[in-house]
A and B are shown apart, each in its own frame.
Chain A
C-alpha cells in the first residue's frame, strides 16, 4: 500500500529523466510535475516529511491517465504509473482528495458511473438486463452504455445476426476506476460485488466493449484476490475478429478512405491486443489501416484514462487535441478506435476544431460493413 509498496521505484525514478518525452500529459502541459521523475521527487519529499499534500501536489497526482506509456518506454520497465496510483492511496488515507475526486468516487460507488445525470441506457440493452444463462454477457462499460450508445446498437445488430442469446448487467462498475483513484479497499469491495453479479447471470462467455473491464476480469481481479469463474472474456475486437475469421460474419469492403487506428491503452499496451482491430479494419475497408507514428505498445493516450475525462476534462481535451494532431499528420480521415472513452474524447477534440475527421468504434465499423454486405447479398438475390 502507498509509498511503502513503491519505494524502490520512487528511489530509482527520482534520479531519472529518460521517459519524459513519452508522457502524453507532459506533452500537453510541459510540466515536470507531470512526469514520473516529478512524481518520484514529490513522493520522496512527502515521505521525508518535507512536503505536504498541498492542493497543487494533489492536483498533479490526479492529472495522470494511468496509461502506462512511461513504464513501457522505460528500459527496465519500472512501474512508474504506480508512483501515481500509490500516491493517490496516500492522498485518500490523508483525507486530502479534492471534492471532484471524492464526488466521482461517491458516484462510482452508488451508481457505477462517474458522472451525474446519466441518460437512459440504450433500450436494446435495458431489455436484456438480468437475463440468466445467456451465451454472452455483454458488458458495454459506462462510456458505451451512456455516452456512446451507438456502440451498443452496433453490437446488438451483430449479436442478432449471429443468433446469440445475450444478457446485460444492471451495474457495470468493475471497480478499477476506484482502484486507479486510490480507493483500493473500496475497489476490492466493488469488484467482489461485480464478480458476484456476473456469477448470478451465469453466462457462457463475456464480451465487453470496455478495455478496462476486460483487463480487470482477465488480469487485475487475480491480483486483487477476487474470486472469478474461469469464463472466456473477450473484447469486442477479439470477438468480432474471431467471428470474421471463422466465416460467421461476412463483411463488405466499405468505401472508407484513409482509415487509421488509435490503440486504446488498456486494450493495446496493457492487454497486448493489437492485431485483431487492425485485421477487422482491413476486412471492413479493404485496406491496411494507416498507422499513427506512435502506435501499438508506444501509442499515446487520448487523455481519457483513469476517469480524467470526468475529473480533469480540460486537461483531457488538451491531450486529445494533441493526439488528433498526430492523426491529422498521418492523413487519416476516419479514425477507428476500440474504447468508448477514447471515442468520446477524440471525437470531442475533433468537433471542437471542426476538423472533419470521423471517429468511430470498431463495432460500428463492423456493423456497417455487415449491413452493406447483407444489402449487396439481397440485391444479388
Chain B
C-alpha cells in the first residue's frame, strides 16, 4: 500500500466511525452515478471522453449530529466538503472540484412534525420535494412549491439555491416559504435561526443561507410554511397582441391587488412553438397563462378582475385547455426527448429579474446580444415571463445553439461568451441575474459583474465563517 492509499484508508475509517461503514461509499458505481448534474458544460465535458473530478468518499449521514461531526472532521483536516441533495442543478454546484468528501443528504428525509395550528411542517432537508408534498397532500395541505425538478431534488437543494416554483407569483421563493433553518456551520457548530422569521431582534441570520449553495454551511432542518389544499385551481389561456401588451397586462394584474398563483407569458417565439405543438394553430402574439387558487369565491372574483384587465389589453380568451394542459403536463418537457434542451444542443438559461420599467428593455437587449452577437452560430433565443411581483417580474430566457465548434475548448469558450453577453445585457440595463438553478461554477465569475465591489462583503462573510474554505470550495465566485 502506498502512502496515499494509507491516508485514504485512515480518512475512510474516520468517516465510517461517524456514519457507519455502510454509509461511506468509495466505489466506482456511486462515483459514476453521481458524476453529473444537468449543466450543459459538465455533460459536454464528460461525454467528450474527459475525466471528471471525484471525491475520495461519498458519505450519507442521517442526523444533524452526524453532519456536524463530519464537517468538523473536514475542517480539522482541511478536507473539502460538498453538500449534495438531488444533484440536479444546472451549474456544477455539486461538482467536487477539490475532491474531498461529498455529503449526500438524502437519507435525512424525516418529517419531524406537522403543526396544523400555525400551518408549518418541520422536516429534515434531504427529503425529495415530491415526497414532502405527498405527505402534506395526504394530510390536506400543500407547500405550493412546484419547480421543474420537483420529483428529484431535495428541500435542502431548493433552499441552497433559493429555488422558485411555477406558482411563485403567489407563494414566493424558498426564502418566503421557510420560517426557520438549522445549519451546520463550517466549524461543525450548529446554528438554528429564531423560531419566527418576521422579527426585529437583529438581522434574520437565516437569510445568509438561502442561495448560499453550501458555501457557508449545510442546511439540515427547516420549518416550512404550508397551505390547505386549494378548494379550486383555475387556469386559463389568453393570446395577447404582443409582448409589450402582455407585460403591461401582467403588471396591471399584480399592482391591482390581485394574487394570481400563475402568470406565464411566452414571447413570440415560444408562443409560435407552443400553439403549433399543443393546438396545431399558427398565430402571432404572445400566450399568457393565468391561474388562481384557493377558496372558490375568492378565486372566481379575482379571475373576473384579471379577465377584465386582459380584455382591456386586447387579449383573446383561449379557454381553459391551455392552462389546464400546461398544469397537468408541466413536468413533461423535462423528460427526454424534449425539443428545447436536448443534449448535445448547447443550451443555458439566464434568468433575470427587474422592475417593470426595465424588464422589456432587458429582454430586447438580451435577445439582441444572443441572436445578433452569435448569428454565425445560428443562436436562438426564447423566453417566458413566469415569476411576477407587484414591483417587477422575471423572465426565463434560454439560448440554444444546434451547432458549435468541434474543438471542445472552443465550444466551452463560446458557451461562456454567450452567457456573459446575456448577463451583461441584463446587468447594464438594470436587471439582476436570478440564478435559482444554481450559480455554482457556471456563474461564479458573473458575481463581480452583478454585485461589483459590494461582493467583498460576501467574501468577508465566507472568510469569517469558513476560514479554511472547506465548504463547497470554488462555487459562487468565492475563490477556490
Contact = CB atoms under 8 A, between A and B. Distances in A.
A18 B152 contact: yes
Which of B29, B106, B134: most chain A CB closer than 10 A?
A: B29
A379 interface: no
Contact of A30 (B28, B38, B60): B60
Contacts of B43: 15
B128 interface: yes
B33 A33 contact: yes
Contacts of A30: 60, 104, 106-107, 109, 126
A40 to B, nearest CB: 9
A41 B152 contact: no
Contacts of B356: none
A48 interface: yes
B335 A16 contact: yes
Contacts of A31: 25, 29-30, 33
Interface residues of A, number: 36
A240 B153 CA distance: 44
Interface in A200-216: none
Contact of B29 (A21, A50, A60, A78): A60
A314 to B, nearest CB: 10
Chain B interface, DSSP helix/strand/loop, else mixed: loop
B27 A56 contact: yes
A37 B35 CA distance: 11
Given A15-B343, A18-B152, A32-B87, A57 B131 contact: no
A241 interface: no
B431 interface: no
B29 A59 contact: yes
Interface string B315-351: 0000000000000010110111100000100000000
Contacts of A56: 27-30
Contact of A12 (B60, B87, B336): B336
Contacts of A16: 334-336
Nearest to B134: A293
Contacts of A45: 32
Interface residues of B, number: 40
A21 B30 contact: no
Contacts of B88: 17
Interface in A255-310: 293
Chain A interface, DSSP helix/strand/loop, else mixed: loop
A88 interface: no
Contacts of A22: 151
B409 interface: no
B117 interface: no
Given A17-B153, A21-B131, 9 more contacts: A15-B336, A38-B29, A38-B32, A39-B33, A42-B29, A54-B27, A56-B28, A75-B335, A293-B138
28 contacts: A12-B336, A15-B336, A17-B38, A17-B87, A17-B88, A17-B151, A17-B152, A18-B334, A19-B152, A22-B151, A30-B106, A30-B107, A30-B126, A31-B25, A31-B33, A32-B30, A32-B87, A33-B29, A38-B32, A39-B33, A42-B29, A54-B27, A56-B29, A57-B32, A59-B29, A60-B29, A78-B335, A78-B336
Interface of B: 25, 27-30, 32-36, 38, 43, 47, 49, 60, 86-88, 104, 106-107, 109, 126, 128, 130-131, 134, 138, 149, 151-153, 329, 331-332, 334-337, 343
Interface of A: 12-22, 30-33, 35, 37-39, 41-42, 44-45, 48, 50-51, 54, 56-57, 59-60, 74-76, 78, 293
